[in-house]
Amino acid sequence: MVATTTLGGTASNVVVAKVIHGLMTMTCVPNPVPEEQAFAAIKAGVDALPQGVKMVLNSAQFYGQHWSLGNLELLSRFYEKYPDYADRTFLMVKGAMDTEKFKVDCSPEHLRRSVDKCIAALRGTKKIDVFQPCRIDKSFTIEEIMKTLVELRNEGKFSHIGLSECSAATMRRAHAVHPIAIVEIEVSPTSYEEETKRVIAAAAELDIAVAGYSPLGHGLLSGTFKKREDLDPQDFRANMARFKEENFQHNLAIAEAIQSMAAKKGCTPAQLCIAWVASLGPKVLPLPGSSRKERTLENLAGGDVILSEEDKQEIAHVLETHPVKGGRYADDPSTDSLLWG
């Protein structure tokens, strides 16, 4: 039986699979996957769900090559070919990115322009269910940003409002303006900062869902990599702190411990990490990526894996005795706090 939950805010009546399907790796990679492979990966997850349960799909304005609209354009072709799947999926779209300057822009003019670009890319095949700025633009107050988002929602451009990489304090202020359906933050056994815990706790209090992206630590914990040479030099992760040579071998020991635990548990390392994120709360939804049918189903099954308190304590012990080296993106872990808006 596929684990399910409901979202929050204005989407609190929407029943969805506990595990979200991230679509970034279909198009935002050096070599995008064949279209039919991508379509099969999406269909597999949706087809595995009971009637009335929706699959949350996670996309963005900039998930194409060279930060283009390619991912949304792929989705438009998917929905044209399989129109019945529009009502069976719940589409989250991140935007507000100035792709020419590669920086977030939450000015009223740019927010509107970003939303309109995303809508145009979908070509009327599917309405955006949740729109979320990809980061909090500190040039504006969250109240100013929310005012624009509420105006756009009231115009019918999307159905619900979400946030991404927000602090607990910012989320509270935003929610006071208008109910937030879901917030997207990085959550994994190796990315569980104090602010992450505060966001999850505040979201539970306010009945806001949390999408925990990169539950496998950007693939670090999946067991895919045995040595750094396994990573394509063109892969964006090659420049991430935790994948750099001086940190990689140390962090690989954490991955090996996760693999050993998964073997004892009778699941894959990916499923163990997904289950760990899912265990953080009834409305905490792991958000792994998948561009293959088999991986979509593996990820979805991770939501059904139940971790005992002993399992969670064992993972905590591994991380206490062998803490991850490097920040989420930069070399210095202390800079992670700068990511929170």
pLDDT, averaged in runs of 10, over the chain (341 residues): 95 98 95 97 98 98 96 98 98 95 95 98 98 97 98 98 98 98 97 96 98 94 78 74 84 92 96 98 98 98 97 94 83 63 81
Scored b (16 or more CB within 10 A) or e, 326-339 reads: bbbeeeebeebeeb
Q: What share of the chain is helix, strand, coil (3-state, %, to 5)?
A: 45, 15, 35
Chain centre to alpha carbon of residue 23: 9
Is-contact 4 283, C-beta < 8 A?
no
Which architecture characterizes domain 4-217+276-305 according to CATH?
Answer: Alpha-Beta Barrel (3.20)
Sign of CA dihedral 257, 260, 262, 265: negative
Q: Are 4 and 18 in contact (CB under 8 A)?
A: yes
What distance in Å separates the CA atoms of residue 122 and residue 267, rounded to the nearest whole number? 37
d(C-alpha 276, C-alpha 5), whole Å:
16
Q: Which residues contact 59 (CB under 8 A, 6 or more apart)?
A: 23, 24, 71, 72, 75, 91, 92, 93, 94
63 is catalytic: yes
Given a contact cutoff of 8 angstroms between Cβ atoms, the answer to whether 3 and 18 are in contact is yes
Q: Which residue's entry shows tokens 């359906």? A: 181
Determine the pLDDT at residue 247.
86
Alpha-carbon span 214 to 207, nearest angstrom: 22
List the structure tokens of 130: 């949740």
pLDDT of residue 249: 86
Q: What are phi and psi of 187, to 5 degrees?
A: -140, 125
CB atoms within 10 A of CB 238: 12
Angle between helices 70-81 and 35-47 (to 10 degrees): 60
**Of 63, 79, 85, 192, catalytic:** 63
Position 60 scores a pLDDT of 98
pLDDT recorded at residue 328: 82
DSSP-derived letter for residue 56 is E
